[in-house]
Structure 1
Amino acid sequence: MKMRPHTRRADHGGRPQRLAATVAPASVEVTPRFLRIGDGYAATLVVTGYPAEVGPAWLEPLLSWPGRLDLALHIDPLPAPIAAARLRNQRARFESSRRADGERGKLADPMVEAAADDAADLADRLARGAAKLFRVGLYLTVHARTEDELLEACAQVKAAAASTLIEVQPATWRHLAGWTTTLPLATDSLQMRRTMDTAALAAAFPLASADLPAPLPGDPPADGGVLYGINPDSQGIVWWNRWAQENHNSVVLARSGAGKSYFVKLEILRSLYQRVQVAVIDPEDEYLRLADAVGGTVVRLGAAGVKINPLDLPAGDTRPDLLTRRGLFLHTLTAVLLGQQPPPAERAALDRAILAVYRQAGITADPATHHRPAPLLRDLADCLHADADPAAGQLAARLTPWVHGSFSQLFDGPSTSRPDGHLVVWSLRHLPDELRGVGTLLALDAIWRQVDAPSRPAARRLVVVDEAWLLMRDGEGARFLARMAKAARKRHAGLAVITQDVADILGTDLGQAVVANAATQVLLKQAPQAIDAVGDAFGLTAGERRLLLAARVGTGLLISGTNRTSFEAIASQAEHQLCTTRPSDLADFENEEEL
């Protein structure tokens, strides 16, 4: 049977007729098993069986089905007298069945016993006004492009419903009525209802969604943020603003090759469009092409002639406790250099030497003296040698490799670089492995001095620490990073921690503190050996764990409080050329440039 859409003749200029001709399909073909609507196919499934108990968002498996599915929930409240009468009759039938079985000597039917107990509990709550009854109809209309695709889609929807003990049946010979029932017309043409109480019905609301929640009515519209990617479940846009969260920190955890640096470079590039100043700790020179393209500054620690003086004072900082705070950092640096916290006697000698070396350079608590050239690490070692305390001499001997030995080239002169600009990349590629942790700490200290400077304007600053495990494996370095994570928000800054070694982050109290102080958490593909630790730390469901184990490159989860969604990072061709590190892509780009 074929039908043409019926339109009412317009009284004034044919407006309703034109509207119907625009919105309605060209034709509707009705068959026993499906409808052919225009150039597509549709079939309606009716929910005929429900689980005995439901939990929150029990409709989520149907709502998150990736195809085109129209779900309609028709609700009619039952007046209290009618509800009480129906429930009383139902209880009478249950009681009659129980007595009949008892008189015949049969064992009690567990299904009847459970239903009778539930009915008694519902009657009690209904009498006290704690619950109400509703007539509920749940209908699903599945759409597809061809008849074969429609059959396959209906089978998938039935399987998704069966996973939560929901039974569905096709509306055979009534698909036209089913289709109109799932249209936004507030009309139930099928009238296949089920009685539900308030708790069961309330568990279906709010309807779960694979996308991030939109602002509530009355809230100001959200602005700012960057594009993270596409939601593969709903094909929606994942747009995220770290600066609108309770803190501005983020953590990115993924196995090697999962695309974590690619994703972070995309966020950096898109953040620069919004005048965010970015500083990056780059252990493997992955950010150099991006810095060259946007006119950033690159500081290559370990390269010939590049020096960092850890005793430098921040320019323009006139706070009276400046020397005290610098001395505390030198204690932290010494502990990282030695690989452990020095004993109390050596710490006391180090404190005396710090005060003495600045005094010899003519630098005191008076801000007028802070512009004078800062002493060097070897000057600090000389002060330790001059101290009569044996602990001072022992500490000076332990610092010899960093002052006069194999590791001294980074510290044996005044600082040669001025890391200023909208993007500053601290490259650690040229440092030996023994100096990677120290180089990361020095770079973070230089960045923090800019973030913490009181004379600086309140610009947004993003500090990216790639391969954070290099610093987390050192106790004092991990403490420095944890303090930075807690204090960054007050300086209008955000800390982005990236690592492939999940154990170094989640296996220590300091690492967990860094994660706990990150309002934005991104999980990409995980290794099977680490998925249990990640799942327990972030409260992942079984489905989310399977997603992370089988995720493609650049695909993962965005988690922020109770909000979580999957996303797939996307990039334009120009962004891809700047962010990729795949050798085949880089070779193709070089060949194109030569041509």
Structure 2
Amino acid sequence: MNSNAGAFTPDSLSVAPRHLEIGGEWVASFAITGYPREVHPGWLQPLLAYPGRVDVSLHVEPIDPVTAANRLKRQLSKLESGRRHTSEKGRLLDPMVEAATEDAYDLSARVARGEGKLFRLGLYLTVHAGSEEDLAEQVAAVRSLAASLLMNAQPTTYRTLQGWVSTLPLALDLIGMRRTFDTSALAAAFPFTSPDLPPADPASVAAPAGVLYGFNVGSQGLVHWDRFAADNYNSVLLGRSGAGKSYLVKLEALRSLYRGIEVTIIDPEDEYRRLCEAIGGTYLHLGEAGVRINPFDLPIAVRPDGRRTAPKDALTRRALFLHTVIDVLTGTELAAEQRAALDRAIISTYQQAGITSDPRTWNRPAPLLADLAAVLTEDTDPVGVDLGARLRPFVDGAFAQLFSGPTTTTPEGHLTVFSLRDLPDELRPIGTLLTLDTVWRRVSNPALCRPRLITVDEAWLIMQDPAGARFLHRLAKSGRKYWAGLTISTQDVGDVLGTELGKAIVANAATQILLRQAPQAIDEIVATFNLSDGEKQFLISADKGQGLLSAGTQRVAFQALASPRENALITTDPAELATSTEPNPVDGHVDLDTAA
């Protein structure tokens, strides 16, 4: 006998008719004697996800085709004989016998065509508890769970030791209570599915990486997910109004900051100001007096060592971008002669500011939109003069506040929030364009390479603008090259899934989160994400904060979970804010280490 076997031998073993005492533990075993007529993939998952300790053991024995055919033939003969006898006596047919006969014929045909094989299956359960009273409660709960799955769990009375051994990883079936299964039913019975996301390294004992989203609705375990370990770093979050989208987005952003990930948020509804100011982020409130973004700024970045760098074609790229800016400001696509006049004016405007193709001149202050309008107005070409006149409302008219001076705030730091709520409707397209351009310049600069998340809340507002939709599509496809992930959050599913660009953005998101959905939109969600009937019903009836996280082939239902400190920073519930005892975040910053 192996001398190491003693390490696996219990200190004591007491055998009773219906339970065992193994050391300080009480166990009871059961054999499944009744099964549902039809099963679906993962039908044993509720047993595997039971919150207590339950061992589930499957013993599978293949039946050779000749024996299987003979047994099926005898079984069909018995069933047909019984049906004829019942018919001859003038009795009503037994529905159970009719169903069994149909199943036998179907199984016999599949076996004859080689589409499946037969197996003998033994399914046994062992319930563990710390005391006899606890064991009785656990046994009742497990038997009720089995009954809800249309399975009959019978205790291994007076064979408790054999039942326990049959559930150990010894490949010994000492009970021998088997049931015939075909290939498809056996495949569905294999316990290779789990409601939990698989860990990145099952052999590692380290804490799970990524962001804690909440707890698993099915197993009560914790749901961790690292977007930067997926094929791409993009995420799409869809849910109806009031389902908890912004709450979850803020929670993910806050916990990403804990990990040292830089976060940029485009906020159309001004929901992130409190969080931004509480943790010392950079807040740009476009539309507020004195807040400006100069579209003529060259994409110059400051390296950690203090050196200023820019792409070799920075001036050319900026000139091309200014064509798009003027298109948005004028509300029309410029004609060829207008573009020619504009191109001459842009080059002349930069030259008047002392900026040429020589990179040494790029550190000089950039010109303003008013300078471009002046150059166009003085142009000898009437086309340029007309274009300069069309820019006047944005230079010295009602809409000049966004362009009336140099850029006021440099979007730098661990968290940057661009608030677009107070932009006038006439300035919202250009404000969105300038915001997206600022974000992209920072993301695509190789001198600032670091993990980033760019969050666009209520993305349907930006998707309505063609320039905004194109930017999101570009970032979704190219962000991974720059170590950046895009987060799209929206309540208007139709505006995202109803366009080709929106579908492309969803298709390029390795992480997809679905919160509660309206019945009117659920069919489109089901078709797009290939949801099952159970997942469809879950999304229709989900509580606030509950959702379905899809990562590749893995899906998990979860409930968002935040600490009281995090909840105080991210909630927008008026009732909670009215009774909050948290200090005003404007009065002082919050230490991220203590906020965790």
Q: TM-score, normalised by structure 1?
A: 0.81
Shift of 1:537: 1.8
Residue 225 in structure 1 maps to residue 210 in structure 2: yes
In angstroms, what is the RMSD of aligned CA positions? 4.1
Compared with structure 1, are the counterparts of its residues 395 and 521 closer, same or farther at alpha carbon in structure 2 (3 Å cutoff)? farther
Residue 351 in structure 1 maps to residue 351 in structure 2: no
Aligned to 2:303: none
Aligned to 1:488: 479
C-alpha separation in 2, matches of 1:220 and 1:487:
34
Aligned to 1:154: 143
Give per-residue Cα distances to partners, 1:148-200, cap 9 Å, x unaligned.
886576344323x24xxxx5354485684656644556443432212335554
Please give the residue correspondences for 1:90-489 in structure 2 after superposition, counting only pairs within 5 Å.
90-91=72-73, 94=76, 112=101, 115-116=104-105, 118-119=107-108, 121-122=110-111, 125=114, 133-140=118-125, 145=134, 154-159=143-148, 161-162=149-150, 167-168=151-152, 170-171=154-155, 173=157, 176=160, 181-182=166-167, 184=169, 186-205=171-190, 207-215=192-200, 224-315=209-300, 316-387=308-379, 389=381, 391-454=383-446, 456-489=447-480
Compared with structure 1, are the counterparts of its residues 432 and 240 closer, same or farther at alpha carbon in structure 2 (3 Å cutoff)? same
Shift of 1:218: 7.8
| Contact 1:376–1:412 (CA under 8 A) maintained in structure 2 | yes
Shift of 1:464: 1.7
| Contact 2:292–2:406 (CA under 8 A) maintained in structure 1 | yes
Compared with structure 1, are the counterparts of its residues 592 and 289 closer, same or farther at alpha carbon in structure 2 (3 Å cutoff)? closer
Shift of 1:317: 4.1
Shift of 1:386: 3.8
| Contact 2:232–2:480 (CA under 8 A) maintained in structure 1 | yes
Compared with structure 1, are the counterparts of its residues 117 and 505 closer, same or farther at alpha carbon in structure 2 (3 Å cutoff)? closer
| Contact 2:143–2:153 (CA under 8 A) maintained in structure 1 | no
1:193 partner amino acid: R
Aligned to 2:593: none
Shift of 1:569: 1.8
Aligned to 1:5: none
| Contact 1:142–1:154 (CA under 8 A) maintained in structure 2 | no
- Correspondence for 2:30 among 19, 40, 44: 44
- Correspondence for 1:87 among 61, 69, 79: 69
2:444 partner amino acid: D
Aligned to 1:3: none
C-alpha separation in 2, matches of 1:187 and 1:522:
43
1:529 partner amino acid: Q
C-alpha separation in 1, matches of 2:474 and 2:245:
24
Shift of 1:414: 1.1
| Contact 1:350–1:384 (CA under 8 A) maintained in structure 2 | yes
Aligned to 1:560: 551
Aligned to 1:9: none
Instruction: Please identify, of 67-76 and 366-375, the stretch whose mean Cα deviation from structure 2 is larger.
Output: 67-76
Tell me, what secondary structure is at the counterpart of 2:120?
strand
Instruction: Please identify, of 345-354 and 417-426, the stretch whose mean Cα deviation from structure 2 is larger.
Output: 345-354
Residue 533 in structure 1 maps to residue 524 in structure 2: yes
Tell me, what secondary structure is at the counterpart of 1:365?
coil
Give per-residue Cα distances to partners, 1:49-81, cap 9 Å, x unaligned.
4546x6643434554567765432112344x4x
Give per-residue Cα distances to partners, 1:14-70, cap 9 Å, x unaligned.
97799435xx7xx88756xx9999998967361434546x66434345545677654
Shift of 1:410: 0.8
Give per-residue Cα distances to partners, 1:465-515, cap 9 Å, x unaligned.
222222111011211121122111111112222222222211111112222
2:32 partner amino acid: V
Tell me, what secondary structure is at the counterpart of 2:189?
coil
Give per-residue Cα distances to partners, 1:225-275, cap 9 Å, x unaligned.
121211121011111111111111212222222222222222222222222
C-alpha separation in 1, matches of 2:265 and 2:106:
64
Tell me, what secondary structure is at the counterpart of 1:536?
helix
Compared with structure 1, are the counterparts of its residues 347 and 174 closer, same or farther at alpha carbon in structure 2 (3 Å cutoff)? farther
Tell me, what secondary structure is at the counterpart of 1:449?
helix
Residue 497 in structure 1 maps to residue 488 in structure 2: yes
Give per-residue Cα distances to partners, 1:542-592, cap 9 Å, x unaligned.
222222222222221111221111122222222222222222322333478
C-alpha separation in 2, matches of 1:469 and 1:85:
63
1:84 partner amino acid: V
| Contact 1:297–1:423 (CA under 8 A) maintained in structure 2 | yes
Give per-residue Cα distances to partners, 1:333-391, cap 9 Å, x unaligned.
33433445445554444334333322333322221221222121122233333445555
Instruction: Please identify, of 485-494 and 380-389, the stretch whose mean Cα deviation from structure 2 is larger.
Output: 380-389
| Contact 1:47–1:139 (CA under 8 A) maintained in structure 2 | no
Aligned to 2:59: 74
C-alpha separation in 1, matches of 2:441 and 2:481:
14
1:491 partner amino acid: Y
C-alpha separation in 2, matches of 1:465 and 1:41:
53
Tell me, what secondary structure is at the counterpart of 2:283?
strand
| Structure 2: gaps spanning 5 or more residues | 301-307, 588-596
Tell me, what secondary structure is at the counterpart of 1:314?
coil
Instruction: Please identify, of 236-245 and 221-230, the stretch whose mean Cα deviation from structure 2 is larger.
Output: 221-230
C-alpha separation in 2, matches of 1:557 and 1:257:
16
Instruction: Please identify, of 265-274 and 236-245, the stretch whose mean Cα deviation from structure 2 is larger.
Output: 265-274
C-alpha separation in 1, matches of 2:322 and 2:254:
34
C-alpha separation in 2, matches of 1:591 and 1:274:
24
Give per-residue Cα distances to partners, 1:526-552, cap 9 Å, x unaligned.
223322222222222222222222222
Q: TM-score, normalised by structure 2?
A: 0.81
1:283 partner amino acid: P
Instruction: Please identify, of 269-278 and 144-153, the stretch whose mean Cα deviation from structure 2 is larger.
Output: 144-153
C-alpha separation in 2, matches of 1:393 and 1:156:
80
2:422 partner amino acid: H
Shift of 1:93: 5.9
Aligned to 1:507: 498
Compared with structure 1, are the counterparts of its residues 347 and 153 closer, same or farther at alpha carbon in structure 2 (3 Å cutoff)? farther
Tell me, what secondary structure is at the counterpart of 1:421?
coil
The alignment covers a number of residue pairs equal to: 565
Compared with structure 1, are the counterparts of its residues 137 and 586 closer, same or farther at alpha carbon in structure 2 (3 Å cutoff)? same
Compared with structure 1, are the counterparts of its residues 313 and 17 closer, same or farther at alpha carbon in structure 2 (3 Å cutoff)? closer
| Contact 1:332–1:477 (CA under 8 A) maintained in structure 2 | no
1:424 partner amino acid: T
| Structure 1: gaps spanning 5 or more residues | 1-11
Compared with structure 1, are the counterparts of its residues 591 and 551 closer, same or farther at alpha carbon in structure 2 (3 Å cutoff)? same
| Contact 2:442–2:448 (CA under 8 A) maintained in structure 1 | no
| Contact 2:455–2:487 (CA under 8 A) maintained in structure 1 | yes
Shift of 1:277: 1.6
1:577 partner amino acid: A
Tell me, what secondary structure is at the counterpart of 2:580?
helix
Aligned to 2:591: none
